[in-house]
Structure 1
Amino acid sequence: MNTKVKLLLPAFALTMALFGNIAILGDPFDVGALIMGGVMCVLIGYAHIVVNRFFSHGDKFIVSIASILPVIGIAVIYRLDPATAIKQVLWFIIGISAYMALVIILPDLKRFASLKYVYLVLTLVFMGMATFIGKEIYGAKNWVDLGFVSFQPSEFGKIFFVFYLASSLKNYTDLKSLVEPGAVVVISLGFMIFQKDLGSAMIFSFISISMLYVATSRLKYLLGALGAGALGAVASWAIFSHIQKRVMIWRDPWPYASNESYQIVQGLYAISSGGLFGSGLYQGFPGYIPVNKSDYIFAVIVEELGVVFALGIMVLYFILFFRSIRAALSATSPFTTLLAVGFSVMIAMQVIVIIGGVYNMIPLTGITLPLVSYGGTSMLTVFFCLGIVQKISEEV
């Protein structure tokens, strides 16, 4: 049995196990769940054929993990709300299509290294958009509603931000060459703070620090950036009452369990009731968890599928990060190395921030779990990032 088939079989088995279980537990028997499972298998198989057959030099594991994680998310969303799951399947189709299109269509990525100021303009536009025309949801002003579509501009801003830093830092020579990218980082973080988007600010900070260290290899820059980030976090806490409240309920959620920390407490109850192996699909009480299809889907997974299953998801994210960093190490130019590092850290930090928030290990932020939570903007941008990493992994 060759490697391609070995990578496909676990994805097919998990897909049919999840959707088959949902179909059996439905009352009456849910044929729609089996159809959705079959559709997911076809999409996963097609993506594997395109990437592994026609672009055999690239990483074989990235596309596999990028297929398995959405299966888990869509299955859990289907258990919560079949209509929403259908929308998520459509976003999965768009996302995986974008992933394959990037691998097929994009020429050598090094050709895009000279477009620094294009990325600069797009970064500032998308980072600042919600500050001026955004609407506030769950305390953060990070959504823009154009009437026919609503989206988070910062999700697209992350992509251009990484491209800008990669094109700017690839020619690092001395401290003076860091002045411009440093200013862009400060402005971008300023937009996130004014939008009260603490989670995105944390992610942008770690992207910047990681790419800075990879580009310069200077420990003093790394320590200086970490120190500046810590001071910025303290200043943000002192200025904004919204951030003070988040820290307050993080430190001690129980006195506020019926109001400010209701979401945190319900998530912790769900996690504790699930135990090692979960209560089983349809046996939990996810309706008590606010925002259970997006921000808090991980708590639903732990409650009904168990801590062991949740640890498996975290292992998948770790492998995805490892393979992405491996692509960065094998890249043939500083620009593509920095791109792979930036996108890898972006996805990894998003996982750490939301899972840490659900477990109340860090202050809760409104971040989606990549490829698992409901959200079209997040699904599309993560697949775009992974498509770029997949393309970089083919460099020889």
Structure 2
Amino acid sequence: MVHLIIEVSKYLMIVLLAIYTYQCFAVFRRRSPERQNRIFNSQASLIYLIHLDAFLVIYASTLDLKVIGLYLVQLILLVIIQLCYKVFYRKASRLVVNNMCMLLAIGFIILTRLDFDKAMKQCEIAVAAIGITLLVPFIIHKLKFFHKLTWVYAGVGLALLSVVAVLGARSYGAKLSFSFGGISIQPSEFIKILFVFFVASMFYESTEFAQVVKTTIVAALHVVILVLSKDLGAALIFFVVYLVMLYVATRKPSYALAGLGTGALASLVAYKLFNHVRVRVVAWKNPLGVIDKEGYQICQSLFAIGTGGWFGMGLYQGMPDKIPVVEQDFVFAAISEELGGVFALCLLLVCVSCYLMFLNIAMQIKDQFYKLIALGLGTVYGFQVFLTIGGVTKFIPSTGVTLPLVSYGGSSLLSTTIIFAIIQGLYILRQDEEGMKQHEGKKKKKVNVKEKRTKREPQRKPEPAARPTSGNGRKKTGFDQDIEDLD
């Protein structure tokens, strides 16, 4: 009976997520707010149905009552997120809210299946993260001095990265985090946001050559410290984000080409200097040749994806626990194995939908500072998704980067919810700009209508001259005039 439930549920989840994914893109063709709201409400229902379906399978497979308690906590959290944005941020993007909830729900599902204790901890972190970040859209919308804190962003970022490089704990050969009060923190996850604000502030002030040089030096210091810490995934994200923001701000391809050349040279140097880099490249080039050592993780990932096929094995029917660090770097492989390739592709498209929304805000918002912020944060998110899935599928060497909102990790989860909250604040600002534009358009239209009415008012015809009268006071007729002429 349990196998039948698992088999039916996996197809149901695929169908539900496929419908949700279709609606992510179909909503842009609906111009009517009523139709868009119907789609958003439908998406929210699909999130709850997928979450419920998966937890019914998890409970049927484990018969653990703690699963029901965890499900209820997660459900309440998802409902609270939806309600808070509906009540407090009516101008916020409901598509971004729905996508965030969907990614969180998928992360809760797969983590509960892989490790119940980690799923519990992830849920606790999510509650704290949502509680902290609910004020962020309000702060972004109301406060206007963020572009003035340029060197504060740089100073805090470089200081924290330096502390990690010196005192950080090693994890798989890299210094990534340090403990504070019994809590492990990975500062690079938050410094990515400060870095984007720093670059945006610098280029908002000026894009002259001297300003570009100063910005490049500070950006290079961030990357160098991360390379020395062997946090290569974060270093690559910082580098790419800077190149994208540099090109968009200056519109000079020569800067981007110079940056790409420098990056290629730096990669070659890192390959020669760090054994950590060479190990990952060897595992990428020929994982089967070193399956007992360097290639074991990527081989297990590829086996899992191949075994799952298009429709997956079903929850608890695969062996994702054979993949090292599966809850963090390789969670996409576990999803592909048990929930299927179609489900994994739909998950990827949901991430693409988030990225497109970020870029859409960057293109439409008028303020140059906020435009660069949206672009930078969108690049952080999109490139991190690319690095994660590219490493899992052997498209690129593994970089040890987590899948945002899905993978296990408190720092990653909190930093990503901050990014989404900042984007919501920028979306509200864009809505305000649209409202002002429409208001000004209506005022101009009224003025034009008044001017047209004034021009179109008919000119009054002059009153006809009074006809001459005859001597007895009677109006002269044509006959009288003829007589006068004869006289």
Within-5 A mapping of 1:247-266 = 247-266=281-300
Distance in 2, Cα, partners of 1:380 & 1:368: 13
* 232, 250, 265: which one aligns with 1:216: 250
Q: Work out whether 1:142 is the aligned partner of 2:176.
A: yes
Is the 2:233–2:399 Cα contact (8 Å) retained in structure 1? yes
TM-score, structure 1 length as denominator? Answer: 0.96
Deviates more, 1:317-326 or 1:140-149: 140-149
Q: Work out whether 1:20 is the aligned partner of 2:53.
A: no
Deviation at 1:66, TM superposition (A): 0.8
User: Hey, what does 1:278 align to over in structure 2?
Assistant: 312
Q: Work out whether 1:153 is the aligned partner of 2:192.
A: no
Q: Work out whether 1:163 is the aligned partner of 2:215.
A: no
Is the 2:247–2:255 Cα contact (8 Å) retained in structure 1? yes
Deviation at 1:23, TM superposition (A): 1.3
Distance in 2, Cα, partners of 1:40 & 1:141: 32
What is the CA deviation profile of residues 164-206 of structure 1, one whole-angstrom value per residue up to 9, with x for unaligned ones?
1111111233211111110011111101111111111111111
Q: Which amino acid aligns with 2:301?
A: G
Deviates more, 1:215-224 or 1:316-325: 215-224
Q: Which has the higher contact order (CA 8 A, sep 6+)?
A: 1
Task: Mark the runs of 5 or more structure 1 residues left unpaired by the alignment.
Answer: none
Rg larger for: 2
What is the CA deviation profile of residues 81-112 of structure 1, one whole-angstrom value per residue up to 9, with x for unaligned ones?
21111100011111222231212344435321
SS at match of 1:61: helix
Is the 1:271–1:302 Cα contact (8 Å) retained in structure 2? yes
Q: Work out whether 1:287 is the aligned partner of 2:321.
A: yes
Distance in 1, Cα, partners of 2:322 & 2:121: 23
Q: When the two structures are aligned, how many residues end up with a matched partner?
A: 394
* 239, 252, 267: which one aligns with 1:205: 239
User: Hey, what does 2:301 align to over in structure 1?
Assistant: 267
Is the 1:16–1:34 Cα contact (8 Å) retained in structure 2? no
For the aligned residues, what is the CA RMSD? 1.5
Q: Work out whether 1:93 is the aligned partner of 2:127.
A: yes
Is the 2:140–2:426 Cα contact (8 Å) retained in structure 1? no
* 67, 73, 79: which one aligns with 2:113: 79
Q: Which amino acid aligns with 1:225?
A: G
Distance in 2, Cα, partners of 1:173 & 1:5: 44
Q: Which amino acid aligns with 1:220?
A: S
Distance in 1, Cα, partners of 2:176 & 2:136: 27
Deviates more, 1:173-182 or 1:50-59: 50-59
Q: Which amino acid aligns with 1:82?
A: F
User: Hey, what does 1:32 align to over in structure 2?
Assistant: 66
Is the 1:110–1:336 Cα contact (8 Å) retained in structure 2? no
Distance in 2, Cα, partners of 1:103 & 1:137: 34
Distance in 2, Cα, partners of 1:340 & 1:107: 14
SS at match of 1:142: strand
Deviation at 1:53, TM superposition (A): 3.2
Is the 2:304–2:320 Cα contact (8 Å) retained in structure 1? yes
Identity %: 34
User: Hey, what does 1:6 align to over in structure 2?
Assistant: 42
User: Hey, what does 1:384 align to over in structure 2?
Assistant: 418
TM-score, structure 2 length as denominator? Answer: 0.78
Q: Work out whether 1:47 is the aligned partner of 2:58.
A: no
User: Hey, what does 1:233 align to over in structure 2?
Assistant: 267
What is the CA deviation profile of residues 27-48 of structure 1, one whole-angstrom value per residue up to 9, with x for unaligned ones?
xx33332332332222222212
* 357, 372, 378: which one aligns with 2:406: 372
What is the CA deviation profile of residues 60-91 of structure 1, one whole-angstrom value per residue up to 9, with x for unaligned ones?
21111111111111111111221111100011
Distance in 2, Cα, partners of 1:187 & 1:335: 23
Deviation at 1:147, TM superposition (A): 5.5
Shift >6 Å, 4+ stretches = none
Q: Which amino acid aligns with 1:44?
A: L
Distance in 2, Cα, partners of 1:249 & 1:81: 27
Q: Work out whether 1:188 is the aligned partner of 2:222.
A: yes
Q: Which amino acid aligns with 2:411?
A: T
Deviation at 1:222, TM superposition (A): 1.6
* 311, 329, 336: which one aligns with 2:345: 311
